[in-house]
Amino acid sequence: MDETPGLRERKKAATRLALHEAALRLAIDQGLDRVTVEAIADAANVSRRTFSNYFSSKEEAIFHGDTMRLRRMLELIREQPIDEQPWTVLTRAALRLTEESYLDADAEWLTQRRQLRGHPGLAAHQVAAYATIEREVATELARRLGGRDVVLRSRVLAATFLTTVRVAVQEWIEHPEHPILDAVRKALAAAAPAATRPGDLAASDTPQAGAA
């Protein structure tokens, strides 16, 4: 009997996750430079060809978790009402993603992130991944902005938002004694466009008039 589409997708997701976890584990244990695609495939009990069906490089496999979080961020932005103030939409999405992704992070996860942070190969992949999602966030924001220079303003707003969230998470990874929700909330309030009130953006879910 043929597998249903839903079952096939779940199996693909499970394989992708297994490869990601194997790549991450090997990079932590051996150092990223020593890890090979063949070793990742062996650790996940799949073939080299199967690895290539899911990822183009070991860096992409390692960064998969971050990529999924970025995609989820975009989903959360798109789910919100079109008539809400853009920075409120972005702030709410970031706080929701933080609750979903980071509140259960343990000491081992934080140690892994610190060990991999700053590696040139991963840094280059991070830049590319953020550039891709930045374009998509900007496209979504352009639908919500009025006035002149919408394309430019949406790109600036998307870049500011994603950089702010990234910096806030990095700050928390380096100083986990401070709650991550506070770090993200404060960073976004500090980066809020001049036309908005940071106090309102920090915790409010109330729609605000105007555009960023």
Residue 119: exposure state from Cβ atoms within 10 A (0-12, 13-18, ≥19): middle
pLDDT at position 118, please? 66
**What residue spans define the domains of the chain?**
5-58, 63-200
The model carries a pTM of 0.79
Nearest to 116 by CA among 33, 18, 19, 36: 33
pLDDT value for 207: 36
Say which residues have a Cβ less than 8 Å from residue 105's Cβ, sequence separation at least 6.
180
Q: What is the pLDDT of residues 57-115, one digit of tens each?
A: 999 999 898 899 999 999 999 999 999 999 999 999 999 999 998 888 777 777 777 87
* pLDDT value for 51: 96
Predicted confidence at residue 53, as pLDDT, reads 96
Q: Give residues with Cβ within 8 angstroms of 32, minimum separation 6.
A: 58, 59, 62, 116, 119, 121, 122
Tokens 């090997």 sit on residue: 26
Cβ atoms of residues 85 and 200 within 8 Å: no
Rounded distance between C-alpha atoms, residue 63 and residue 54, angstroms: 13
Domain 63-200, CATH number (from 1.10.357.10, 3.30.700.30, 1.10.1040.10, 3.40.50.720): 1.10.357.10
Q: What percentage of the chain reaches a pLDDT higher than 70?
A: 89
> Cα torsion at 167, 130, 151, 164 (round to 10°)?
-10
Task: Name the band, by pLDDT with cuts 50, 70 and 90, for residue 173.
Answer: confident
One fold for both 5-58 and 63-200? no
Q: What is the mean pLDDT of the chain?
A: 86
Is the predicted pLDDT of residue 193 greater than 80, yes or no?
yes
**179 pLDDT above the threshold of 50:** yes
Q: What is the pLDDT, as a whole number, of residue 20?
A: 95
Q: Work out the average pLDDT over 148-173.
A: 93
For the domain bounded by 5-58, which CATH number is listed?
1.10.10.60
